[in-house]
Structure 1
Amino acid sequence: MSQSYDLVVKNGRIVTPQGVVIGDLGVIGETIAEIGPALSGRVEFDATGKFVVPGGVDPHAHIEQMSGMGLMNADTFETATRSAAMGGTTSLISFAAQAEAQRISDALIDYSARAARGAMIDHAFHMIVRETDVPNFDHDITTAITAGHRSIKVFTTYNIKLTDAQILHTLRQARAAGALVCVHAENDAIIADAKAALIAAGKTAPHHHAASHPRMAEIEAVDRICRFAEYLETPVMVFHISTREGAEAIRAARKRGAPVWAETCPHYLFMTEDILHQDGLEGAKFMCSPPQRTEDDQAALWEALADGTLQLVSSDHAPYRYDETGKLSAGPDARFDQIANGLPGLETRLPLMFDAMVSKGKGGPEAFAHITSTRAAEIYGLEKKGRLAVGMDADITIWDPDASVTYTGNDLHDNVGYNPWAGRNIKGWPTDVWLRGRNIVVNGTFDAMPGSGKWIDRPQRPQMKG
């Protein structure tokens, strides 16, 4: 007598790490139980002609977080995770940001409570370290890591930057306890110098933001962080690579054997700095740091994804409304340096990448799943996420490769109020999403309750190579 499953996704193009399999996927409870032919279940979903892909893993999202400028971003865990699910993402890693003079342990308590209240997909945290000289820092960071919070973020710029000595100290603590350190790598002095010169010359419009973050700021800081990782043999993830030279610095470091990984984001793959040239302050909608670069940089980033120099594409979801609560908080005459940086991206990351990689052939469905889900789960220690395989969480997204959608001005499910990709046509669309076997997006309609997402324990130390 054949096994009966709680859910069977039938006749789909199932994207596994071993390749695309035409067949059925059976789920018992929250877990994938079998992939094979002619399965039967209590609930059956016909995926004929559709791609069956692991739910997306987005390892870089800012949610219910105060910016360095003292501005709360637009999304709660409820609105952000709803938006993520509608875009095919079932797991994310956001930030537990240490406030000034705050203990890391208290920051984790605070953000964990926010997520428990609202998150509707599964989630973990990177701990943002802005100070290392608070009481019990070494004890608290070690305790948090061993409790399953196995990633830390540090900055080399802005008013939350660490000194080189503090970064090295944090790297040592991470290595001893078994954590990955993620870095926003730009040279603070170069940015400060460029910004001051632009303001002195009266060049203060949003499009001058790009010139205020010279590419050399990224190049220098990325190379420096790679050397730190190499010196201490401590694993590092360099966030949001935007330049050809930044990618080349990562490539060179990995060839030397440095334990370094790196990511990029859709706005670096599909936008150039020309997007900032808009009427009035409209360009503020597209401001992010590092800024968008050039078509040559885009080509270099795609090359780096293809050859494994860059492992991931994250959203770097950093949501601010285009009004007085967000981008325009400094008023109608705001200079570029008074405007919050960041774009919404949780909902658009996967459709943009599916369109490019599957519909337009920049890699295919296996590479799409690897870059947007599998590799992130592996690197960050989300042990039951990121793959369609027996024993894994039943986090499943159905993609209709024939669907064609054109983004409009305010069609996302977050709380940002605008879509930075308005006017862009997407081929291929996520229609249905399951989180641990529960159907949370049903034919394009969201169906989950606040707080139904779970915190993801990460007991595994990050791998040092690969």
Structure 2
Amino acid sequence: MIPEFDLVIRGGTIATSGDIFDADIGIRDGKIVALGLDLARGQDEIDATGRLVLPGGVDAHCHFDQPTLDGSVMADDFVSGPRSAAFGGTTTVIPFASQKKGESLRAAVDDYHRRAHDKSVIDYAFHLIVTDPTPQVLGQELPALIREGYTSFKIYTTYDDLKLNDREIIEVLALSRREGALTMVHAENSDAIAWLTEALERAGQTAPRHHADARPAIAEREATHRVISLAEIVDVAMLVVHVSGGEAMDQIAAARAKGLRVFAETCPQYILLTADDLDLDGFEGAKHICSPPPRDTASQKSVWRGLANGTFQVFSSDHAPFKFDSDTGKKLHGEGASFAHVPNGIPGVETRLPLLFSEGVGKGRISLNQFVALTATNPARLYGLYPRKGTIAIGADADLAIWNQTREVKITNDMLHHNVDYTPYEGRTVTGWPETVLSRGAVVVRDGRLMAERGHGQFLKCGAPDLQL
């Protein structure tokens, strides 16, 4: 007798963004084709008794093999980055194809495809980064790319080689409205940061801890208010990325209360790190330099409230993999360099889900359904991948993570699978870990071993954003 299914996952407790129930999962040709009790046998079977079966995570903000202009080099490419993500329970990643000023956006996309081709073990899509919105880009390239499945793009209000002025932001937002795309914004006030940085450097205050002084919460608050106002003028949805605390959150919550379609994302560093982590001996604090910087314990509490009350729709890693002990990483300009010349960003693509599960679900700060929504369902919806990704439903891709919800794991860099030489969460113990991970019905990770071959992952074209969140 021919088995009815290629694979059956039996006896697990399934959680989606809306439900928790016990059922078997029948998989055929990489898709979920049945949910029920006592399903017919499969060619292969996985016993998930006593385990949680969750949708594979969707990390909608991570950086792999992204070109830089300062000589720094990202340690993770499309081999090591997606591999690390998979070990952490993530089955879809969305990194960034970044345009260089003066160059074609189409050229950036073509280059990123070359970097990714035949490497990833899990599926991936691309966001775009728009740094030079010329008439050619806005009139031809970007509309064509949106129609080809690149339906989200990021813009910046800071960093000289990335930032747009207000008129340029309005032009991009107007195109986003016209073409049905979603604009993501890195919101910090560039001029305020530059003024503070110069003042700190003149005073000799250049140690890593002063990175936080140069990028205060008010600079994030102002830029968040400004870009929300510009989006309101255009009457278009937008998403503020990596929000660090209450001041920016208040702007977002007020906008949503008015009925504006403003969405928000936060990251592990804003619930687990503070500015004190930048104030370590010697140059060690550089390990925690990211922008916006971690704030304080009051900001952490605010972010937790926002995760629980719906201010945040997405929880991403913002994985930015620069090695610490490297002259192409954090020590690009040496250990005596000013904070302003340290490559920004911290690794976290593998630890994103276990940290939020342990600190959020395990400690009663958020529900299991909220965990699934924040880490899988909502990003899939906002970035045009739902219901193929981000849920457990008939017809969806069989992207699944089977969690041992009681397993205690002490995080060390030695156990992780990225290509970075440190983790900001070294020595932290979490409860709950994904032990088996499937991508389109194929086992990618099992019991600490990589099972999928390089190139299993497929490029995903994204559809229109689902803004009904």
- Per the normalisation by structure 2, the TM-score is 0.97
1:392 and 2:393 are equivalent in the alignment: no
Query: Does structure 1 conserve the Cα–Cα contact (< 8 Å) formed by 2:71 and 2:328?
Result: no
Preserved CA contact (<8 Å) 1:101 1:134: no
CA separation of 1:16 and 1:3: change in aligned 2, threshold 3 A: farther
Question: 2: CA distance between counterparts of 1:178 and 1:240?
Answer: 23
| 1:345 matched to 2:348 | yes
Corresponding residue for residue 114 of structure 1: 115
Q: Evaluate the alpha carbon distance shift between residue 333 and residue 223 of structure 1 in structure 2; reply closer, same or farther with a 3 A threshold.
A: same
Q: Could you say which residue in structure 2 is the equivalent of 1:422?
A: 426
After TM superposition, the structure 1 = structure 2 runs for residues 214-229 of structure 1, keeping only pairs within 5 Å, are: 214-229=216-231
Query: In the alignment, is the contact (CA less than 8 A) between 1:287 and 1:342 conserved in 2?
Result: yes
Aligned to 2:11: 11
- In the alignment, does 2:446 pair up with 1:462? no
State the percentage of identical aligned residues: 42
Partners of 2:311 and 2:96 lie apart in 1 by 25
Query: C-alpha deviations, 1:28-75, integer Å up to 9, x for none?
Result: 111011111011211111111110000000000011112353422111
Residue correspondence of structure 1 range 228-247 to structure 2 within 5 A:
228-247=230-249
Q: Which amino acid aligns with 2:307?
A: L
Shift of 1:400: 0.2
Structure 1: gaps of 5 or more residues: none
- Cα deviation for residue 149 of structure 1 reads 0.3
**Distance change in 2, residues 1:452/1:134 (3 Å):** farther
Q: Which residue number corresponds to residue 25 of structure 2? A: 25
1:456 partner amino acid: L
Structure 2 unaligned segments of length 5 or more: list them. none
1:325 aligns with 2:318: no
Q: Secondary structure at the match of 1:154?
A: strand
Find the partner of 1:361 among 324, 339, 364. 364
Secondary structure of the residue aligned to 1:252 is helix
Q: SS in structure 2 opposite 1:375?
A: helix
Q: Which amino acid in structure 1 is aligned with residue 123 of structure 2? A: D
Residue 380 of structure 1 is matched in structure 2 by: 383
Distance in 1, matches of 2:417 and 2:410, equals: 15
1:210 matched residue in structure 2: 212
Per-residue deviation, 1:309 = 1.1
Contact 2:307 2:366 in 1 (8 A): no
CA distance in 1, matches of 2:272, 2:309: 19
Q: Deviations over 1:287-342 (max 9, x none)?
A: 10000001111111111111111111100000100121200010121111111111
1:158-237 alignment, distance < 5 Å: 158-159=159-160, 160-237=162-239
CA distance in 2, matches of 1:464, 1:429: 31
The CA deviation at 1:137 is: 4.0
| Contact 2:59-2:376 within 8 A present in 1 as well | yes
The secondary structure found in structure 2 opposite 1:399 is strand
Corresponding residue number in structure 2 for 1:146: 147
1:409/1:122 Cα in 2 relative to 1: closer, same or farther (>3 Å)? Answer: closer
**Bigger Cα displacement from structure 2, 395-404 vs 440-449:** 440-449
| Superposed CA RMSD | 1.5
Deviations 1:224-271, CA, capped at 9 Å, x for gaps: 111111111111110011020111110000111111100100000111
Measure, in 2, the Cα distance between the counterparts of 1:347 and 1:357: 17
Q: Secondary structure at the match of 2:97?
A: strand
Aligned to 1:54: 55
1:399 is matched by which residue type in structure 2?
W
Deviates more, 1:213-222 or 1:403-412: 403-412
Normalised by the size of structure 1, how large is the TM-score?
0.97
Alignment of 1:63-102 (within 5 A): 63-102=64-103
| 248 and 324 in structure 1: CA distance in 2 versus 1, 3 angstrom threshold | same
